Amino acid sequence: MFICILSLPLFHTFISLLTLFLGDVRVRSRAGFETERRGSHPYIDFRIFHSNSEIEVSVSARNVRRLLSFQRYLRSSRFFRGITVPNSSNILDDDYNGQAKCMLEKVGNWNFDIFLFDRLTNGNSLVSLTFHLFNLHGLIEHFQLDTMKLRRFLVMVQEDYHSQNPYHNAVHAADVTQAMHCYLKEPKLSKSLTPWDVLLSLVAAATHDLDHPGVNQPFLIKTNHYLATLYKNTSVLENHHWRSAVGLLRESGLFAHMSLENRQLMESQIGDLILATDISQQNEYLSMFRSHLDRGDLCLENANHRHFILQMALKCADICNPCRTWELSKQWSEKVTEEFFHQGDIEKKYHLGVSPLCDRQTETIANIQIGFMTYLVEPLFGEWARFSNTRLSQTMLGHLGLNKASWKGVQREQSGSGDDVDPAFEEMDSDILPQEPRLS
């Protein structure tokens, strides 16, 4: 009704202003490849298992609600209501309370409690932490970024994580971003990395699981999800995270002032980092890493070598939960297992065949974690410690050993034996590992 009473010229003016302010939600492919359109989220539509008579909610209505959630944020945010901030370094003052700001002063500490920080920021940990890191690393000034556009981009990223996922949500993305920051501070990296490298690392960390549906790739394949078809059953989720991230970068216009060549390079290299988190490629990356270390030929003055190390750093950040303190690691273990078991419940309900590690009747948190640490985490972090033998590396390996011992204690209490390892991990090799990181 509102549109009907507007004259045609006024209507066009209104749409132009709205597009200028919000950005064109019809993300155009001006460079490289087609992005995933905002709103094309891979929610699993379980109505495919029912008859048409049981369908009650339209997909289009759901997509509209998803887009409107960002508009609701715009209306409620003081930042977007026009409050002027004279200095970008003080932009935090309006949105952070005292405790959150105190935590950010220690954002480089390995015992940083992302759960507490998320509560202190009222569920905005990813936006708050990532904006702070951009400012801390001098990226805003170096790349002449518009702080409004940066904030808007981060809001869209946070919005496109699914808060209903127990594990793969914006808090996980914030945790991975904080871990990546810790690795960027390591002496070998900090003295060699360029602002470009840091920029890529933080964007890739923040978006590495963007729009994650809370189920793994085999589930998408056996339910004939459109993403599995789109990416030909290969790194389905990782490709979607990457393309979704590029879509939001273009929609926000954050780097619109850069040359087309630089934007294309950025999009491609962010993709390289995110695709490296595909756990099915773990053995390949680990073998390359080990070979470089054996030969001692890594040269961080070489851009390609730096990029490879950033890939390994993001892989470490992605599965670093067992290397955190027991209090933090245990929470993450419980959350990821809850997500596994939820998928298993759905697979049972619709007779799809329960995926490995997803049957709550036969699996336990302890068994899953011991297998995960033994076959995936320990080999990766052992090689990372060879590359960067620092206090942080030793701290991570120390926590890993203590946490594994703790889970073995739990396992003994549950089964009366401390030698059991989940056979699902023993049977997994590089060809059959699920393509989505189990603790990504």
Pick out the residues of the known binding site for AMP.
168-172, 209, 318, 369
Residue 6 CA, distance from chain mean position: 43
Task: State the Cα–Cα distance between residues 430 and 418, nearest whole angstrom.
Answer: 27
Cβ(424)–Cβ(303) below 8 Å:
no
Choosing from 132, 137, 168, 212, the catalytic residue is 168
* Dihedral sign from CA coordinates of 424, 430, 435, 440: positive
Amino acid at site 138: G
Cβ(436)–Cβ(237) below 8 Å:
yes
Pick out the residues of the known binding site.
168-172, 208-209, 318, 369
- Does the annotation count 168 as an active-site position? yes
Cβ(147)–Cβ(91) below 8 Å:
yes
Cβ(201)–Cβ(313) below 8 Å:
yes
Task: State the Cα–Cα distance between residues 304 and 439, nearest whole angstrom.
Answer: 27
DSSP collapsed to 3 states, 168-202: CCHHHHHHHHHHHHHHHCCHHHHCCCCHHHHHHHH
Cβ(241)–Cβ(207) below 8 Å:
yes
Kindly calculate the radius of gyration of the chain based on its CA atoms and give it in whole angstroms. 22
Q: Give the residue among 21, 38, 146 at the shortest CA–CA distance from 81.
A: 21
Residue 363 CA, distance from chain mean position: 26
Task: State the Cα–Cα distance between residues 360 and 366, nearest whole angstrom.
Answer: 12
Active site (catalytic) residues = 168
